[in-house]
């Protein structure tokens, strides 16, 4: 199954936005239930300003949607499509690692 160059770029951009720890945490927090910016900041112990900055990128990537209510703005995963993708990812990470290692490659020195 192959992707077009455009689709590959699109996927890379999506992964790039999700590939930040704080942004991923924010996305996970408002994946299934609406969350206000302040609530997210409070739960993750992050500055509201920082959360807002990340939320803007998540919104630009169409990963979350915003709903304004009074003074607060509630964020939620954009749609079931996003929830499904994240769900798959989370499921794979939550799974135990494979034990089908025929041979172990040498430790790569990541600097």
Q: Which residues contact 11 (CB under 8 A, 6 or more apart)?
A: 3
Between CA 76 and CA 35 the distance in angstroms is 7
Between CA 35 and CA 43 the distance in angstroms is 10
Residues 63-102 touching DNA, rule: CB under 7 A, are 66, 68, 70-74
Stretch of residues binding a second copy (CB under 8 A), selected from 35-43, 45-53, 54-62: 54-62
Stretch of residues binding a second copy (CB under 8 A), selected from 35-43, 45-53, 85-93: 85-93
Minimum Å gap between C-beta 104 and DNA is 17
Tokens of 91: 């499921």
> Judged by CB, which is closer to DNA: 10, or 84?
10
């Amino acid at each position: 199954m192959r992707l077009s160059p455009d689709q590959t770029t699109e996927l890379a951009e999506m992964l790039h936005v999700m590939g930040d720890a704080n942004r991923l945490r924010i996305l996970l927090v408002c994946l299934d239930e609406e969350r206000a910016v302040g609530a997210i900041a409070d739960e993750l112990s992050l500055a509201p300003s920082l959360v807002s900055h990340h939320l803007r990128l998540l919104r630009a990537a169409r990963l979350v949607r915003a709903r304004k209510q009074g003074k607060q703005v509630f964020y939620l995963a954009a749609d079931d499509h996003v929830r499904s993708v994240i769900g798959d990812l989370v499921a794979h990470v939550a799974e135990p690692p494979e034990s089908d290692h025929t041979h172990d490659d040498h430790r790569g020195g990541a600097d």
